[in-house]
Amino acid sequence: MRIWTKPYRKRDGEFMVYLNNDRGVSLGISQQRGYQSSKASRGEKNLWEAFCEATKSSTPVATGAAMSKHHEEFFLTFNDIAFAITDVATVGGVPTGSDGLFVVRDGNVFNANFSN
């Protein structure tokens, strides 16, 4: 299954991150509300679980990110996983090699797309 993440800015200025998979399931995570698993469909729960597993088994683009030192344009943390948009090719003080949206877990920085 392929999983990709996309940032989205709502009309009120709030940032959200959407997780999508190749089965047509989409899951939104916001700064204000997070992700309400009690209201999620089985497909959304499966997507979240697959996403968490992908962050454990994928190869990071950088390691050693100190999220207390982030200076990204957008930053959201949910369940020990951070989403960061950078325009300076650095996340948590470590170089990423490019700008864009990155996923951070346990100091490891990942690209925003996963496939298994």
- The predicted-structure confidence for 39-79, as pLDDT tens digits, reads as follows 889 999 999 999 999 999 999 999 998 877 666 677 788 88
What is the predicted pLDDT for the residue at 27?
Answer: 92
pLDDT of residue 75: 79
- Longest CA–CA span in the chain (Å) reads 38
Indicate the pTM of the whole model: 0.85
User: Burial of 3 by CB count in 10 Å (0-12 exposed, 13-18 middle, 19+ buried)?
Assistant: buried
pLDDT digits (tens, 9 = 90+) for 80-106: 888 888 888 888 888 888 888 999 999
Q: Which of 54, 61, 56 is nearest to 114 (CA)?
A: 54
- Over pLDDT 90: what percentage of the chain? 44
Where exactly are the structural domains of the chain?
2-115
**Residue 88 pLDDT:** 81
Task: Note the pLDDT tens digit of each residue in 20-30.
Answer: 999 999 999 88
First to last CA, the chain: 6
pLDDT of residue 85: 86
